[in-house]
Amino acid sequence: MQAQTRDNATVFLLSDNGERTEVGSWGLSPREALVCAVYQYIRNDFQTWNYETVWDKETLERKPQPLEFKETERLLIYPHGDNSTLFVHKHGLLVN
């Protein structure tokens, strides 16, 4: 078993064929790490100051728009594609 601290989270991709792949590790909380993985891995967006915001054409400003995750007792999950998901362990434990 590998322990992770609250400020170091690893995000994984579980593909539709059941393979688990490490997407990346961030020195952030699990939720913040999953947000980074979604924007960087799925949306190819590395403008970190714009994460979880959208451009408002009326006010010409960025407005908050938090990502929605599915949550279990141990995981935060972001569905990706038809059968794949990105996930991170909420409580910092990862069983290899």
Contact 26, 40 (CB under 8 A): no
The domain locations on the chain are 7-91
Neighbour-count burial of 2, counting CB atoms closer than 10 A to its CB (0-12 exposed, 13-18 middle, 19+ buried): exposed
Residue with token string 């891995």: 41
Q: What is the pTM of this model?
A: 0.76
Structure confidence by residue, pLDDT tens digits, 4-45: 444 689 999 999 889 999 999 988 889 889 999 999 998 898
Chain center to CA of 41: 9
CA distance 56 to 61: 5
CA distance 8 to 68: 21
